[in-house]
Amino acid sequence: MIVTKELLKSEIDKLPESYIDLLYRIVQAMLTPLERFTTQVQPQSAKSWADIVDETYGSLADNPIERAPQGEFEIREAIV
């Protein structure tokens, strides 16, 4: 079956009113260029590790990372 605009319009007429807003959004999304939904990451200039360390050093000084206690593990039989 070939779908035509007329066929699509006749099917839309059968939809309950509660679907009209959703259908309108779908049509608008199809009219929006695809580029709007794709993100293109621009390459940044290469930084050395020294630059990254200089930028981030001390950033957690006010909220240091702490390792929680490991707890107790049960002792099992050795695998022979």
Q: 24-50, pLDDT tens digit by residue?
A: 888 888 887 666 666 665 566 667 888
Query: What pLDDT, on the 0 to 100 scale, is given for residue 30?
Result: 82
Domain ranges (residues) in the chain: 5-32
Question: pTM of this prediction?
Answer: 0.38
Q: 65-79, pLDDT tens digit by residue?
A: 888 888 888 888 888
Query: What pLDDT, on the 0 to 100 scale, is given for residue 79?
Result: 86
* DSSP states of 3-69: --HHHHHHHHHTS-GGGHHHHHHHHHHHHS-GGGG---PPPPPP--HHHHHHHHTTTTTTS---PPP
